[in-house]
Amino acid sequence: MNGPDTFRQKRERMLSILAWFRLSRFYHQSIRRSNQHLKKWNMTVAQFDVLVQVGSNVRISQQDLADQLLVTKGNMTQLLSKMEQLGWIQREREWKIKYITLTDAGRELLDEVLPVQEQFQADQFGKLTIEEKKQLTALLKKIQS
């Protein structure tokens, strides 16, 4: 049953590719805008994402952080080293695990940036109605189910 594609299959493939193209286009633009925006606080999107995750957990290990943010643990090591050096987070070793928490400075920074950046991020979806946002989320959720 590995014959030539049917018309329907070709059509489906084309629709997927179109969707991917749109999605990737939007993602790139959005990331770039956010990075520009976060420059005011000398911060990158990757760092912001870490701050948010750490800020919303009492204590979280590096590995769990990497899993939640969908990056490799190697990437996490490097990000956290930089952020530790900047004085935003601290690492506490316990057994063989390193737990991450915000420093006071990190907490302060996050409190300042979070609402502004969230609004900025949200504005990128401004053309959609509430219903459409729900639809979009539902579709993306279904893709990965």
Question: Where do contacts with a copy of itself occur on this chain (CB under 8 A)?
Answer: 11-13, 15-20, 22-30, 70-71, 118-119, 121-125, 127-128, 130, 132-137, 139-145
Q: Compare residues 44 and 107 and give the one whose CB is closer to DNA.
A: 44
SS3 14: helix
DSSP state of 58: S
Q: Compare residues 13 and 40 and give the one whose CB is closer to a copy of itself.
A: 13
Per CB under 7 A, residues contacting DNA are 28, 32, 35-36, 44-47, 61-64, 70-82, 91, 95-99
Report the distance separating Cα 23 and Cα 116, nearest Å.
Answer: 24
- Nearest distance from C-beta of residue 47 to DNA, angstroms: 5
Q: 12 touches which of a copy of itself, DNA, none (CB within 5 to 8 A by kind)?
A: a copy of itself
- Nearest distance from C-beta of residue 78 to a copy of itself, angstroms: 17
Report the distance separating Cα 82 and Cα 92, nearest Å.
Answer: 16
Q: At residue 133, what is the residue type?
A: K
Q: 56 touches which of a copy of itself, DNA, none (CB within 5 to 8 A by kind)?
A: none
Half-sphere exposure of 52 (CA within 13 A, CB side): 15
Report the distance separating Cα 118 and Cα 68, nearest Å.
Answer: 18
Q: Compare residues 15 and 116 and give the one whose CB is closer to DNA.
A: 116
DSSP state of 128: S
Under a CB-based contact definition with an 8 Å cutoff, are residues 54 and 65 in contact?
A: yes
- Nearest distance from C-beta of residue 3 to DNA, angstroms: 33
